[in-house]
């Protein structure tokens, strides 16, 4: 699905990613853990195509194509989705309207007929049910006045509608109560299939109780210092991160 | 749902790269440049006006000569030579005014069709009557018959002077006196045409009324005068639209609009202003110096001004409400866009005189490129205005970092029972908002449009349905290339 090779990236001349190597196959679920400020959001943002980062070295190949050459919207059309750590509010822009524009832009790109309002509304209603998002959120401004948890749920709702091939969830579980966590996990598990991949950035083992990862990575100091199975997450929860660094230095 | 699209999508006012910029090649009867009493006598004679009106004009002119141009607006432009402007231009074929649509010069019909305003009734938007003003004269008014059946008068003001002189004399200049300000005095002296509307007692006007202003002739000022009277218990929704050809010379537009609203009556006045804004280097464009005022003379009278202003090189405009009658209500909803080198100083005045009067101001300013925009507003609560209320919301959105937004809110409260609320914000279209939309598959340009339209929503919602769709589109077209 995606192959990241020796990725170095900086912001304002400050090196943040210092040689990331990561390969994610179709159908796999990977978790990325690591202390604050280690570069997890930077990595997610670079994959999604955010401006402001300079890739100084390395490559990202997605479905056989050079990802770094694509605009963020092209990446979205090709199936990349980022659930933001901090979703922004866009006052006055109807939530459903934004999504419909996105879905139809993608369909146009794929040479498919655009969905009309009624067809789209059907899809949206169904997906809203999946993440237990009240219908009233559909017609509100994008994230306008949503609580933290509602914003996160809205991200998962958008993911469900856009049906990406590679979903990046950047701390979607942070700040969620247990019910919301279950709902979010449900949405992700629903999406799981043999030709879709998921990357979950998280600090907590508890999300991984709901969504079983195939691989767990530890991102520290701009590098992936350790990779393991889901037991690694348990170990991190127990022992913290310092030992990983020591082990890597040894 | 916001997804609902009307089948009928009028293309008027909005055109890529200012497509309204074409020139109609038509023979005109144009006065040479210059302004003196003879010019005014000439205009008055052309229109076969009664003595009182000529005298009214001359009085305004004499007053104007003693006045100086206002320099307090936050705009800059080279001095205007009022003697180099022509004060009258009319298509020759229209000299005596058309008797019916069949007599309208086909070239004019074509001009309006190109602008998306078909004047043949069967082709026009159902339920909208149009008065088309071309340079100094009205060239066609549609649906006159149907309106007459309802008792509604909708005609060029020059015709009203002939047909309903007592109504015109009773109300003209009573809302905006001849000496009110420099441009209003000039307009009073030389106004050539515009619309006249009278809605009789208890009548709900059966259709939207609209006037479409078109400046065509070179070097000609447009000085239209609109007078709308809503008699007791009546209602009317009125819309004006404006375009002009793309020319390198600046052109002057100084209109006066007077609204009179009696007991329990309501006027909803909407404007979509897309005068030629000048080019990307700031060459050309319309100087738009306009006085608009509504007088809520009766109890429970209501008025709302809704404006979408995307055109003009310079805008100087403060649609105002005088809330004289007890429990009268004034509203001002405005979206103004300044891009390239456009400058706008716009806002409103709410003058509370009657008891329990209330007013709402929602102003949304968008600046892009080198655009400069000022919101200037006055809320005055007179001593007599027991229990008056005002809510003001004034938001600015900046696109890029070479443009500017300024706010000048003035408040004068002479009655302690007044309730005043003021909210203001200035924001930039954020990189984070754009990226968010893009990551959902929306191009940067569409994302900007979406964000701007979201920002304007509270105002667009006040427009009649067809025009809200159009306002959205006008915004999109106007913003094309504004980002990047
Ligand atoms: N736009 C930016 N400008 C300056 N520094 C940044 C920017 N974005 C991220 N950083 C820095 O890069 C480092 C990694 O940040 P981030 O990727 O957000 O970490 P994480 O998501 O792992 O907590 C931090 O030191 C952060 O301060
Ligand atoms: Mg982060």
d(CA B231, nearest CA chain A) in Å: 37
Q: Which residues of B132-157 are buried (b: 16+ CB within 10 A; e: fewer)?
A: bbbbbbbbbbbbbeebeeeebbbbbb
Say yes or no for a CB contact (<8 Å) between B2 and A97. yes
State residue B335's pLDDT score: 94
Share above pLDDT 90 across residues of chain A, in percent, rounded to a whole number: 82
**How confident is the model over B60-106, as pLDDT tens digits?**
999 999 999 998 888 888 888 999 988 988 777 665 555 566 667 77
**How confident is the model over B122-145, as pLDDT tens digits?**
445 555 677 777 776 776 777 788
Q: Which positions in chain B touch A70 (Cβ < 8 Å)?
A: none
Interface of A with B (CB under 8 A): 48-52, 71-73, 75-77, 81-82, 84, 87-88, 90-94, 96-103, 105-106, 117, 120-121, 139, 141-142, 158, 162
**3-state SS assignment for residue A181:** helix
**How far is A243 from A225, CA to CA, in rounded Å?**
11
Ligand 1 atom 20, closest CA: A37
Q: Which positions in chain B touch A142 (Cβ < 8 Å)?
A: 436
**3-state SS assignment for residue A132:** coil
State residue B9's pLDDT score: 29
pLDDT band per the 50, 70, 90 thresholds, residue B17: low
DSSP string, B382-411: -TT-TT-EEEEEEEEEEESSS-EEEEEEEE
Please give the average per-residue pLDDT across B207-227, as a whole number: 82
User: Alpha helices of B79-164 — where are they, by DSSP H?
Assistant: 106-114, 144-149, 157-163
CATH 3.40.50.300 given to domain A2-249: yes
**How far is B372 from B366, CA to CA, in rounded Å?**
9
The DSSP call for residue B7 is S
User: B145 or B352: whose pLDDT is higher?
Assistant: B352
Closest residue in chain A to residue B428, using alpha carbons only: A90
Q: Does any ligand 1 atom lie closer than 6 A to the CB of residue A51?
A: no
Share above pLDDT 70 across residues of chain B, in percent, rounded to a whole number: 89
Helix (H) or strand (E) holding B294: strand B285-296
**How far is A11 from A121, CA to CA, in rounded Å?**
40
pLDDT band per the 50, 70, 90 thresholds, residue B23: confident
**How confident is the model over B436-455, as pLDDT tens digits?**
999 999 999 899 989 998 99
Q: Which positions in chain B touch A48 (Cβ < 8 Å)?
A: 435, 439
Asked whether residue B18 carries a pLDDT value surpassing 90, the answer given is: no
Could you tell me if B440 lies within 8 Å of chain A, comparing CB atoms?
yes
d(CA A93, nearest CA chain B) in Å: 5
**How confident is the model over B152-190, as pLDDT tens digits?**
999 989 999 999 999 999 999 999 999 999 999 999 999
Q: Does any ligand 1 atom lie closer than 6 A to the CB of residue A222?
A: no
* Max CA separation in chain A (angstroms): 61
pLDDT band per the 50, 70, 90 thresholds, residue B401: confident
Asked whether residue B214 carries a pLDDT value surpassing 80, the answer given is: no
CA distances B277 to A53, A203, B239, B251, Å, are 38, 54, 20, 11
User: B4 or A240: whose pLDDT is higher?
Assistant: A240
d(CA A240, nearest CA chain B) in Å: 32
Say yes or no for a CB contact (<8 Å) between B439 and A48. yes
State residue B481's pLDDT score: 62
Asked whether residue B236 carries a pLDDT value surpassing 70, the answer given is: yes
Phi, psi (degrees; rounded to nearest 5) at A103: -60, -45
pLDDT band per the 50, 70, 90 thresholds, residue B207: confident
List the single residue in A72, A158, A162 with the smallest CB-CB distance to B435: A72
How far, in Å, from the CA of A78 to the mean position of ligand 2?
Answer: 24
Model pTM?
Answer: 0.82
Please give the average per-residue pLDDT across B348-353, as a whole number: 98
**How confident is the model over B308-317, as pLDDT tens digits?**
998 888 999 9
**How confident is the model over A163-206, as pLDDT tens digits?**
999 999 999 998 888 888 999 999 999 989 999 999 999 988 88
Which ligand is in closest contact with the Cα of A16? 1
Share above pLDDT 90 across residues of chain B, in percent, rounded to a whole number: 55
**Best to test chain B binding among A76, A91, A95, A162 (most B CBs inside 10 Å):** A91
Ligand 1 atom 5, closest CA: A11
How far, in Å, from the CA of A237 to the mean position of ligand 1?
Answer: 23
Sign of CA dihedral B430, B472, B474, B260: negative
d(CA A228, nearest CA chain B) in Å: 30
Q: Any idea which residue has 């200035």 for tokens?
A: B426
Could you tell me if B149 lies within 8 Å of chain A, comparing CB atoms?
no
Q: Does any ligand 1 atom lie closer than 6 A to the CB of residue A69?
A: no
The ipTM estimated for the assembled molecules is: 0.96
Provide the token pair at B382.
């007179």
Q: Which positions in chain A touch B458 (Cβ < 8 Å)?
A: 92
Ligand 1 pocket, mutate which of A14, A17, A42 (most atoms under 8 A from CB): A42
Q: Does any ligand 1 atom lie closer than 6 A to the CB of residue A96?
A: no
CA distances B123 to B118, B128, B166, B240, B313, Å, are 6, 11, 35, 19, 33
Q: Does any ligand 1 atom lie closer than 6 A to the CB of residue A40?
A: yes
Supply the mean pLDDT for chain B: 86
């Amino acid at each position: 699905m995606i192959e990241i090779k020796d990725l170095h990236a900086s912001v304002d001349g400050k090196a943040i990613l210092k040689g990331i190597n990561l390969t994610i196959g179709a159908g796999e679920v990977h978790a990325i853990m690591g202390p604050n400020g280690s570069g997890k959001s930077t990595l997610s943002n670079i994959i999604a195509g955010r401006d402001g980062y300079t890739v100084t070295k390395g490559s990202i190949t997605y479905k056989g194509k050079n990802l770094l050459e694509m605009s963020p919207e092209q990446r979205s059309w090709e199936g990349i989705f980022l659930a933001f750590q901090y979703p922004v509010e866009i006052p006055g822009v109807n939530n459903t309207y934004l999504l419909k524009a996105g879905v139809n832009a993608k369909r146009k790109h794929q040479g498919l007929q655009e969905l009309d309002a009624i067809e789209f509304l059907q899809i949206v209603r169904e997906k809203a049910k999946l993440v237990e998002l009240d219908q009233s959120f559909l017609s509100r401004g994008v994230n306008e006045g949503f609580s933290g948890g509602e914003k996160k749920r809205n991200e998962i709702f958008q993911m469900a509608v856009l049906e990406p091939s590679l979903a990046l969830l950047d701390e979607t579980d942070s700040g969620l109560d247990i019910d919301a966590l279950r709902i979010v996990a449900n949405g992700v598990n629903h999406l799981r299939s043999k030709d879709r991949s998921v990357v979950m950035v998280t600090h907590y083992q508890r999300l991984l109780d709901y969504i079983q990862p195939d691989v767990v990575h530890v991102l520290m100091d701009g590098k992936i210092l350790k990779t393991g199975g889901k037991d690694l997450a348990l170990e991190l929860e127990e022992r913290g991160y310092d030992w990983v660094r020591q082990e890597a230095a040894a | 749902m916001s997804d609902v699209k009307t089948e009928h999508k009028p293309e008027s006012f909005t055109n890529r790269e200012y497509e309204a910029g074409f020139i109609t090649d038509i023979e005109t009867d144009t006065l040479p440049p210059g302004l003196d009493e003879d010019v005014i006598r000439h205009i008055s004679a052309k229109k076969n006006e009664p003595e009182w009106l000529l005298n009214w004009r001359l009085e305004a002119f004499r007053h104007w000569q003693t006045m100086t141009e206002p320099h307090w607006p936050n705009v800059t432009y080279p001095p205007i030579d009022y003697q180099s402007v022509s004060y009258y231009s009319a298509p020759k074929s229209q000299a005596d005014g058309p008797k019916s649509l069949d007599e309208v010069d086909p070239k004019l019909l074509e001009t309006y069709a190109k602008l998306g305003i078909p004047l043949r009734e069967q082709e026009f938007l159902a339920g909208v009557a149009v008065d088309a003003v071309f340079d100094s004269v009205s060239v066609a008014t549609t649906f006159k018959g149907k309106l007459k059946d309802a008792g509604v008068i909708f005609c060029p003001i020059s015709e009203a002077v002939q047909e309903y002189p007592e109504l015109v004399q009773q109300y003209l200049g009573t809302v905006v006196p001849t000496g009110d300000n420099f441009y209003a005095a000039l307009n009073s002296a030389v106004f050539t045409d515009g619309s006249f509307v009278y809605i009789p007692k208890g009548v709900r006007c059966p259709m939207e009324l609209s006037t479409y202003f078109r400046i065509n002739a070179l070097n000609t000022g447009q000085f239209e005068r609109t007078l709308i009277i809503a008699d007791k218990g009546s209602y009317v929704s009125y819309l004006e639209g404006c375009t002009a050809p793309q020319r390198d010379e600046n052109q002057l537009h100084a209109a006066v609009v007077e609204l009179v609203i009696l007991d329990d009556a309501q006027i909803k006045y909407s404007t979509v202003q897309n005068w030629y804004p000048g080019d990307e280097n700031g060459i050309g464009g319309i100087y738009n110096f306009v006085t608009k005022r509504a007088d809520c003379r009766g109890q429970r009278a209501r008025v709302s001004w809704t404006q979408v202003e995307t055109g003009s090189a310079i805008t100087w405009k403060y649609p105002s409400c005088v809330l004289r009658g007890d429990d009268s209500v004034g509203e001002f909803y405005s979206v103004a866009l300044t891009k390239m080198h456009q400058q706008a100083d716009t806002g409103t005045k709410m003058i509370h005189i009657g008891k329990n009067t209330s007013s709402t101001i929602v102003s949304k300013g968008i600046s892009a490129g080198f655009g400069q925009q000022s919101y200037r507003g006055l809320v005055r609560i007179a001593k007599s205005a027991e229990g008056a209320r005002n809510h003001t919301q004034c938001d600015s959105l900046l696109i890029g970092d070479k443009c500017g937004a300024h706010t000048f809110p003035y408040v004068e409260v002479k009655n302690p029972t007044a309730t005043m609320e003021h909210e203001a914000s200035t924001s930039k279209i954020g990189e984070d908002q754009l990226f968010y939309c893009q990551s959902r598959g929306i191009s940067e340009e569409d994302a900007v449009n979406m964000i701007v339209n979201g920002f304007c929503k509270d105002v667009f919602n006040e427009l009649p349905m067809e025009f809200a769709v159009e306002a959205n589109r006008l915004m999109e077209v106007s913003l094309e290339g504004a980002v990047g």
